[in-house]
Structure 1
Amino acid sequence: MTYSMQPHPARSTLASAVAAALLLLAAPAMAQQAAAPDASAIHVLQIAAGPLDAALEQLARKAGLTLTYQAGELRGLHSAGLAGSHDAETALRLLLAGSGLTAVPLGPGAFALRALPRTGDAAQGGEQKLAEITVTAGNAAVTETENSGAYAAALAGTATRFVLSPRETPQSLTVITRQQMDDQGSVTLADVLQQTPGVTVSHDDSERYNYYARGFSLNSFQYDGVPTFDFGTNSNGLGMRDMAIYDRVEVVRGANGLMSGAGSPAGAVNLVRKKPTRQFQAYAQASVGSEDRYRAETDLSGPLNADGSVRARLVAAYQDHGAHIAYYRQDKRVAYGVIEADVTPRTRLLAGLDYQKIGSQGSSFGQNPLFYSDGSRTRFDRSFNPAARWTNADSSSTRVFAAAEHLFDNGWQLRAEASHWKGDTDQRQANIISWGPYPDQTTGLATLQRGTKTYAIDSNSLDAYAAGPFQWLGHQHELVFGINASHRDSNYVAASGGNLAIDYRRWNNAAPQPSTLRVSQTQTYAFKEYAAYGAARFKPADGLSLIVGSRLNAYERTGDLVYGSGGTGRDDAKEKHKLVPYAGAVYDLNASWSAYLSHASIFEPQSVSDANARVLPSTTGASWESGLKGEFFDRKLNASVALFQIRQDNLADYVATDANERDVYRAIDGTTTRGIEAEVSGQLRPDWQIMAGATWSRPRDKDGQRIDTTRPERSAKLATSYRLPGAWRQLTVGANLNWQGRTWYATTLAGDVPARADEGSFAVAGLMARYVFNSRLSAVLNINNVFDKTYYSGYGLYGSSHYGDPRNAQLTVRASF
């Protein structure tokens, strides 16, 4: 997408009068017309030496320029800075001196950056001509976070497809950068979301995680901004994405139906892949940690020809580790390759593949039972494994993708991406039942359920859009419109191997494997979704921007359900011409602070069913959000505070698991969620990075009762690092802290025996130290759960509980080339 570096001009009198109304109603304001920037105007400039992209951003804000450039052009380039009085075009030429780039006018106050040829020497009389290479839009050049050393990103596009700064985005937005992932030792998606303010991670068993935001399931995921279907509760290891191949993770909280297809009130997660670089770079690293944890990772990137018009990147990782849980072990293989080519001066092609394979031994399905048969709570040791030693869970994921993009002379961009994804899991299970019959505390009698489960998904998707600027009433605005198409087929088969009675106190995880298997359930699904969307970002007045848009969805699901008892069922749903509107407004209060307001519709088809096996209707409703956002220290530090309210009907609320291992839900109407979020991220001062956030979210049904009591209503998270000064400058120290408020789970056992598990508020802390030996060699030590807190990292699902990891350490050594 075209990235436009644009300033925050002085406000008009009329726009200032609108500010108070914006905070309450976001009433649109008519604006005074503003003239296009005058390229001949003289500006007094004081731009410090440093990264070229930062210098250009300062110039763009000061002179009112729009700069368009290609993803890898500025990476690694530096500027000597600029001081004095210059017109915008001269200042731009001086900043680009020696960079190998030149500025080509696109219109009043608008320039595209192009690479100069590598042949011909102007100083010796050779004529400089524009090279026949890409000048494609440059959002990735300013959104990429690797090598930035920062805990904040300048821009992101997950919320609306417009590439905006966090301050310009009228929703809560968090970006977990490559630097923060490396500092905290985050190697899986669960690790990353555990560090994300406002997000709760539930570890359901050895292979599965669920994610929640604002009290609701966070189940909308994207790759490079394109919606995907490869995550889900029953996908087992398929949702355990490895972070080696990603540059950053963008998390927008609040309804995101404009880009995600379904307007879940929780938000959306965008995993942004690493891209090829124009300069060669590489690293290799190895990690060793507690519980026999070993990991190796390598990353190579660079040009494949002399002028850098063809580039490639290869990433590979291997991990083999045990756990605090007895008899559990997992190995993982990850591979990623991508190639990018500038086929014409304005056209780029990209193609890639990512692959992940996980094999686990001693894997569980549901973790430790929460209750004994008399309703009292179990007190298993953290190392207790409810699964037999011979159980296993294997999963594989393969994604192939290709994209093409073209930049037109007027700054508009056309981009299309197609992908094919195939994932499958295969499990052999033997697990102590946690949902009844419950273990007997006196005799040690428990029921071991044996069987197998397989799950396969085959998905194809297409995303295409056009985006660019346009002039209207003397102001420049932005427009984007596009289409999505997705097809997915899935097949799930569960087979029973019969139950066994065991003494859980003495069984030593030894149990015979079943001699025969009987199919107990099959689920065959076909999903089709088509959508067209459009949005406009208007600048009707100085300091005021309005984003309005909508998504038109067509959704169809067909599902065949067959039970081993001979029963059958259908899980069909169809929605035609479902409109999901979106509106947001941002007003600049001053040079640092903005006020915003947004409204989005909620629409989310459901595939869960009630006690009578009837599929629940789609969740509908609306989400409102308002708040303040600030940026400081030349956009190196972002801050925000948000108030939100969510209203929903047909909300799915988990009730229990029945005899067919089918999760039973009920639909709740008239639910209301109110809350507040606060966050700060980025650079507090040179060498000091921080990511901190606090959330209070209060979901209630129409009777005022708390919804899903196993999710905390209050949470706070902190991650920080500081590079020591002087003689200790090679050492960086850091810490992280996750705190959450009290939760509980209540149910009724057989014989109307009440049972309840309470988890009080708790905090888990970690420490980090990084030492840089030289420009090529560094080491990072992470100590997690430093105070060895015993807590549940997930509980309630299937009446089970999963302990969080005890204190552990990991040392990672990296060599860069």
Structure 2
Amino acid sequence: MHIPLRFAALIGAIHSGGAIASPTEGAPGPAPILPEVRVEASRVSSYGAETATVAGKLPQSPREIPNSVSVLTRQQMDDQNMVTPWDALSQITGVQAIANDITQGQFHSRGGALEVQQDGLPSTLPLSGYQQFDLALYDRVEVMRGPAGLLQGAGSFSGAVNLVRKRPNDVFAASALASTGTWNNNRLEADVSAVVNESRSLRARGVLSVVDRDYVFNRVHDRKWLGYLTVDYDFSPATTLNLFVANLTNDSTGFSGLPTYTDGRQLSVPRSFNPYPDWNRIEWDTTDIGADLSHRFGDRWTATLKLQRRDQSQFFKDGYANAGVNPATNVIASYARREFIYDYVHEAVDAYAGGPFSLFGREHNVLVGANFSSFDSRGRGANPNSPGSSSLTYTNVLLADPPAVPELEVTYRTGSHSVTTQTGLYGRLTLNLADPLKLILGGRFSDYTYKSRTTAPNPTPTAWARGARAEGEFTPYAGLTWDVSRQLTLYASYADIFVPQTQKRVDNSILDPRVGRQYEIGAKAGLLDDRLSVNASVFNIRDTNRAQSDTANPGYFTTAGELESKGRELELVGQIMPRWDVSAGYTWMDTRWVNNGASTGLPVSFWYPKELIKLWSRYRFADSGPLRGFSIGFGLQGQGTSASGAATSTVAARTQNAYTVYKLQVGYAIDRNWSATLDVNNVFDSDYYTRLGGTNTYNLYGDPRNVVLTVRARY
């Protein structure tokens, strides 16, 4: 290769420390000293994700997806010092987090519970009601709002959360943190990624995390240990195998909220009040193992095979108020004592291939695949409703902290076993109709089965009973994107809803599946040289056949009429100006029965506020001046009025007025490796509930004002 002499001299100067030799002189003269050049640059915001996989398996720009999609990046999780999926999903536009206890919760969007994916693998193990791994395991959290049946299979109209694991880096990287805060809220975390061999074909990453903390609630303690190891191996430049194993162990006192007075009023007690016995406890143990094999073809096609298995166990032993508190005597009529062990096994396989092809002089894209998932649930234990366990009820307990409820040795009296299985074939075709116009067509054929039985130690075990079942159920999808300009994309989409149900009518027949559809239109814009994304959407959903209690036949169900969920969303993510990152979202939603007898016109659930607002903003001061190294952060989360349900003739509805919780943060970069932040959560000490429950439990206060100090090191 011929290199001009002047450029050869420049290359020589780089290797020799900066002196440029004259190409025309036989003997080198004195080396000229070049003036110092100082280069400064502001990093592009890493709150805005360039691609997402939740809607199409293969990476896509959010502008290419004709649906509402949000991505919470690793950088934003770190900036906000997030720890759990509750922290992450509470921050995402359109998602409402509803507490169950201190170990897990429920996550809803557009009027239904969200589905979950693990690295794109659809799961029949639900997101809500089951403990998930802490965020130390994940690189990002993706959320698509609206029906996700094309890739997910059976599911409601709410959407899907894709939890994307960390992978090994191709260079050495290490980080660690230590944090402490109010109520002995302590956390340690380490994350190391390294290249293992000289050819760089083998790479590994390990994550360790320990959480040891109390809560505002008296006598409540929580310990969690997380370990994660993942390995990448390149069989060739085009073929990569990923293996991983992860474990989360959680030992908790447990806390599931307060009862109310028998007339429905909330208790007049401090937020620290704990109405549970000292011996209450909850234990979780979760282990994931899995593998991904991916091959990249020369024509930009990719084929992938993913396998994963999750083994999860839950043990709980507790006593809880089984009735409201008499306001005249402060006595609770009864406490229920119980003990259960549940073992869950989730297995999933997904194989797909996709890439571009040419037709009629234009390039189009196609994705085809098949997946399988199963959820096996086994439980055994006893409560007052178990055969021969009436002694587990303890009556006439004075409301106290702690209550005088004695612990009993529990004899297990009941057992259960259920299996849910789903398989599907899916495909998605993206047609490039014109340079700015793309049509997306997709469909899925699904098979679904559910069966259950009663097992020992129940005195009368039963044979398998078949429940929900579907064969060859077709779920269509259609979308359209129009690039109006380089900065603006308009879109529209249609999606079907299909949810098999397990509940029975009084004649023991299984309820018909829930069916429905969603229409969505929206706009996605990239402003300020694409540093700032602005997304707006409007949606309308109809859903029929939802299970509802048969009031004439307790324990049985009937199908409801038609409900409507409609709303609009606005999201802004990215960088407003150099060093100023922002993530903000606003949601207005209304869910009502449009045809359901006496319920027509009423809200589908009083839990759902009409408005949600989320904001996080962080500004880093310039690298010179008196505030060099400092940053300030500001956040808020607010919602409109919500309630526990409709009032009855004897019990008032518990209503919570609109509220907003604020957060402030001060950060300081000590040097290029060390940094510290001080977070002040609930700055104005707002008094609010993260859930409004029934008369016996699930009325949970949100945290009062508290502080957390975090120190990070990166290498």
Give TM-score scaled by structure 1 length. 0.77
Query: Is structure 2 residue 66 aligned with structure 1 residue 170?
Result: yes
Is 1:263–1:601's contact at 8 Å kept on the other side of the alignment?
A: no
Alpha-carbon separation, structure 2, partners of 1:605 and 1:247: 33
Amino acid at match of 2:633: G
Shift of 1:203: 0.6
How does 1:410-489 map onto structure 2 within 5 Å?
410-433=299-322, 437-446=323-332, 447-489=334-376
Of the structure 1 ranges 283-292 and 667-676, higher mean CA displacement relative to structure 2 is found in 667-676
Shift of 1:768: 1.4
Shift of 1:746: 3.4
Corresponding residue for 2:452?
Answer: 559
Corresponding residue for 1:382?
Answer: 271
Amino acid at match of 1:176: L
2:259 pairs, out of 369, 372, 377, with 369
Alpha-carbon separation, structure 1, partners of 2:643 and 2:502: 26
Corresponding residue for 1:22?
Answer: none
Alpha-carbon separation, structure 2, partners of 1:612 and 1:373: 35
Change in CA separation of 1:490 and 1:263 when aligned onto 2, cut-off 3 Å: closer
Alpha-carbon separation, structure 2, partners of 1:340 and 1:162: 19
Corresponding residue for 1:38?
Answer: none
Shift of 1:229: 3.4
Alpha-carbon separation, structure 1, partners of 2:66 and 2:196: 41
For structure 2, the 5+ residue unaligned runs are 1-6, 12-42, 384-390, 595-599
For structure 1, the 5+ residue unaligned runs are 1-93, 99-146
Amino acid at match of 1:440: N
Change in CA separation of 1:256 and 1:369 when aligned onto 2, cut-off 3 Å: same
Corresponding residue for 2:612?
Answer: 715
Alpha-carbon separation, structure 2, partners of 1:266 and 1:412: 31
Change in CA separation of 1:215 and 1:765 when aligned onto 2, cut-off 3 Å: same
Change in CA separation of 1:233 and 1:633 when aligned onto 2, cut-off 3 Å: closer
2:422 pairs, out of 529, 538, 542, with 529
Change in CA separation of 1:655 and 1:448 when aligned onto 2, cut-off 3 Å: farther
Change in CA separation of 1:207 and 1:485 when aligned onto 2, cut-off 3 Å: same
Structure 1 residues 526-568: Cα deviation after superposition (integer angstroms, max 9, x where no partner) = 1211111011111110101111111110111101247979797
Structure 1 residues 299-339: Cα deviation after superposition (integer angstroms, max 9, x where no partner) = 00021012311100000100100000111101000011100
Shift of 1:594: 1.1
Is 1:166–1:638's contact at 8 Å kept on the other side of the alignment?
A: no
2:295 pairs, out of 398, 406, 412, with 406
Amino acid at match of 1:583: A
Query: Is structure 2 residue 560 aligned with structure 1 residue 673?
Result: no
Query: Is structure 2 residue 97 aligned with structure 1 residue 201?
Result: yes
Amino acid at match of 1:557: Y
Structure 1 residues 598-657: Cα deviation after superposition (integer angstroms, max 9, x where no partner) = 00000122345678987543211001100111012332211111010000111245899x
Amino acid at match of 1:276: P
Alpha-carbon separation, structure 1, partners of 2:405 and 2:109: 40
Change in CA separation of 1:188 and 1:784 when aligned onto 2, cut-off 3 Å: same
Alpha-carbon separation, structure 2, partners of 1:193 and 1:254: 16
Alpha-carbon separation, structure 2, partners of 1:551 and 1:617: 20
Corresponding residue for 1:340?
Answer: 232
Query: Is structure 2 residue 118 aligned with structure 1 residue 223?
Result: yes
Shift of 1:509: 3.6
Alpha-carbon separation, structure 2, partners of 1:216 and 1:532: 25
Shift of 1:780: 1.6
Shift of 1:570: 4.5
Corresponding residue for 2:21?
Answer: none
Amino acid at match of 1:731: F
Change in CA separation of 1:671 and 1:286 when aligned onto 2, cut-off 3 Å: same
Is 1:261–1:551's contact at 8 Å kept on the other side of the alignment?
A: yes
Is 2:382–2:410's contact at 8 Å kept on the other side of the alignment?
A: no
Alpha-carbon separation, structure 2, partners of 1:353 and 1:285: 22
How does 1:272-311 map onto structure 2 within 5 Å?
272-311=164-203
Is 1:255–1:601's contact at 8 Å kept on the other side of the alignment?
A: yes
Corresponding residue for 1:122?
Answer: none
Corresponding residue for 1:139?
Answer: none
Shift of 1:233: 4.6
Alpha-carbon separation, structure 2, partners of 1:317 and 1:582: 41
Query: Is structure 2 residue 438 aligned with structure 1 residue 545?
Result: yes
Corresponding residue for 2:702?
Answer: 804
Amino acid at match of 1:536: L
Alpha-carbon separation, structure 1, partners of 2:127 and 2:510: 17
Shift of 1:694: 0.6
- The alignment partner of 2:590 has SS state of strand
Corresponding residue for 2:544?
Answer: 649
Change in CA separation of 1:611 and 1:283 when aligned onto 2, cut-off 3 Å: farther
Is 1:167–1:638's contact at 8 Å kept on the other side of the alignment?
A: no
- The alignment partner of 2:644 has SS state of strand
1:770 pairs, out of 667, 671, 691, with 667
Is 1:148–1:179's contact at 8 Å kept on the other side of the alignment?
A: no
- The alignment partner of 1:373 has SS state of coil
Alpha-carbon separation, structure 2, partners of 1:794 and 1:328: 18
Shift of 1:208: 3.0
2:522 pairs, out of 599, 616, 627, with 627
- The alignment partner of 1:308 has SS state of coil
Change in CA separation of 1:311 and 1:578 when aligned onto 2, cut-off 3 Å: same
Alpha-carbon separation, structure 2, partners of 1:293 and 1:412: 48
Change in CA separation of 1:341 and 1:375 when aligned onto 2, cut-off 3 Å: closer
Is 1:747–1:754's contact at 8 Å kept on the other side of the alignment?
A: no
- The alignment partner of 1:606 has SS state of coil
Amino acid at match of 2:395: A
Query: Is structure 2 residue 473 aligned with structure 1 residue 575?
Result: no
Amino acid at match of 1:717: K
- The alignment partner of 1:259 has SS state of helix
Is 2:339–2:410's contact at 8 Å kept on the other side of the alignment?
A: no
- The alignment partner of 2:101 has SS state of coil
Corresponding residue for 1:746?
Answer: 645
Is 1:679–1:692's contact at 8 Å kept on the other side of the alignment?
A: yes
Shift of 1:386: 2.4
RMSD (Å), alpha carbons: 2.5
Amino acid at match of 2:659: F
Is 1:464–1:483's contact at 8 Å kept on the other side of the alignment?
A: yes
Is 2:107–2:127's contact at 8 Å kept on the other side of the alignment?
A: no
- The alignment partner of 1:318 has SS state of strand
Alpha-carbon separation, structure 2, partners of 1:172 and 1:578: 25
Is 1:160–1:258's contact at 8 Å kept on the other side of the alignment?
A: no
Alpha-carbon separation, structure 1, partners of 2:249 and 2:424: 32
Alpha-carbon separation, structure 2, partners of 1:341 and 1:165: 27
Is 1:263–1:580's contact at 8 Å kept on the other side of the alignment?
A: no
How does 1:61-72 map onto structure 2 within 5 Å?
none
Shift of 1:800: 3.1
Alpha-carbon separation, structure 2, partners of 1:482 and 1:546: 20
Alpha-carbon separation, structure 2, partners of 1:557 and 1:344: 42
Alpha-carbon separation, structure 2, partners of 1:151 and 1:668: 41
Alpha-carbon separation, structure 1, partners of 2:373 and 2:628: 51
2:482 pairs, out of 570, 587, 591, with 587
Shift of 1:148: 7.1
Corresponding residue for 2:408?
Answer: 514
Amino acid at match of 1:512: P
Shift of 1:478: 0.8
Amino acid at match of 2:632: V
Alpha-carbon separation, structure 1, partners of 2:67 and 2:402: 51
- The alignment partner of 1:754 has SS state of coil
Of the structure 1 ranges 293-302 and 225-234, higher mean CA displacement relative to structure 2 is found in 225-234
Corresponding residue for 1:729?
Answer: 628
Shift of 1:342: 0.8
Is 1:183–1:768's contact at 8 Å kept on the other side of the alignment?
A: no
